[in-house]
């Protein structure tokens, strides 16, 4: 048991229902690891820019920083002690003063199709709701007859839009549905056929890089297998030099002491696809970069133009 802090530690989070559920999970795990009462950690919610602006695609508004910039400012100013994020929404390059101190055990990495039993079962010309370039490109690659309908908002908002007929079906993350208690909604897509987003299903907790005490407290709930997989996927992102418009799909699995990474890049319209697989030691920081080099070397111009490389 760790001595409780003299004051309540402040955990910053977005105030969406899913973000709050993730923050509650982080608080529960941290208190359990140290034998603290829940009152030892106070949740401090913020309305992120990405939550305030709902009428335009995220990629057109500044990308993933819209989910993190308010919490980053609070963290660096010392107004909160740590912050919780869905790691797939965190920029690949983080401020030097911020450290990813813990990765919680990764949830289901799969996407879920709501409104049809499978991609193949979608009716001809179906309207599919998603605001993610990856999901849009994957869908159009598999079903070029379908039409992508941009839908923003939290999970409940998007499900309501589907129920109102704004789309015929919708793609969501299984992890988010599970964390909101909606496990029975939709049909999970096989991850080996429909690769997820980098770091999908992973919750990250960040603190100030120079705050050794908080880093040590958070280390108690860091899940090493999850960290190895998602940090490799973020290394792939960094090596590809992609942005919010770059459709990247990847899945990483542990096999013994190695990681096996399967990845695919798409043109935004789904017409072009390049894929590859690599096996490398979990501690091999260059393994993902080698796969990135291979993918870019084989990518059609319609794909390569959306990646800067290393």
Residues serving a catalytic function are: 89
Alpha-carbon span 301 to 119, nearest angstrom: 27
- Give the Cβ contact number of residue 35 at 10 Å: 11
Alpha-carbon span 123 to 9, nearest angstrom: 51
Q: Tokens standing for 206?
A: 């960040």
Residues comprising the chain, all counted: 310
Which helix or strand (DSSP H or E) is residue 251 part of?
strand 248-255
Q: Which phi and psi (to 5°) does residue 224 adopt?
A: -60, -45
Rg of the Cα trace of the chain? 19
Handedness of CA 148, 249, 180, 13 (dihedral sign): negative
Q: Which phi and psi (to 5°) does residue 179 adopt?
A: -70, -20
Q: Evaluate whether 110 touches 190 at the Cβ level (below 8 Å).
A: yes
Per DSSP bridges, beta strands 258-266 and 203-208 are unpaired
């Amino acid at each position: 048991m760790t001595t409780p802090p003299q004051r309540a530690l402040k955990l910053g989070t977005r105030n969406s229902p899913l973000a709050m559920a993730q923050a509650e999970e982080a608080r529960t795990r941290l208190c359990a690891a140290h034998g603290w009462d829940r009152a030892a950690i106070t949740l401090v919610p913020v309305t992120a820019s990405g939550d305030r602006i709902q009428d335009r695609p995220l990629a057109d508004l500044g990308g993933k920083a819209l989910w993190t910039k308010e919490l980053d400012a609070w963290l660096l100013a010392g107004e909160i002690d740590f912050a919780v994020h869905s790691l797939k929404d965190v920029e690949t390059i983080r401020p030097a003063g911020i450290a990813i101190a813990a990765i919680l055990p990764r949830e289901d990495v799969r996407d879920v199709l709501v409104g049809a039993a499978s991609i193949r079962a979608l009716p001809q010309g179906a309207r599919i709701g998603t605001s993610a370039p990856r999901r849009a490109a994957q869908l159009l690659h598999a079903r070029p007859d379908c039409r992508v309908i941009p839908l923003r908002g939290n999970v409940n908002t998007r499900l309501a839009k589907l129920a109102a007929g704004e789309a015929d079906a919708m793609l969501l993350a299984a992890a988010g549905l599970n964390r909101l208690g909606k496990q029975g909604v939709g049909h999970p897509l096989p991850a080996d056929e429909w690769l997820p987003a980098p770091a999908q299903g992973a919750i990250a907790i960040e603190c100030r890089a120079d705050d050794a005490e908080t880093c040590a407290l958070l280390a108690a709930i860091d899940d090493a297998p999850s960290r190895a997989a998602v940090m490799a996927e973020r290394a792939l992102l960094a090596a590809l030099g992609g942005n919010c418009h770059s459709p990247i799909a990847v899945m990483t699995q542990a096999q013994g002491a190695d990681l096996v990474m399967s990845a695919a890049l798409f043109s935004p319209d789904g017409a072009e696809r390049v894929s590859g697989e690599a096996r490398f030691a979990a501690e091999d920081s260059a393994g993902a970069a080698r796969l990135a080099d291979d993918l870019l070397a084989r990518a059609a111009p319609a794909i390569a133009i959306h990646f800067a490389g290393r």
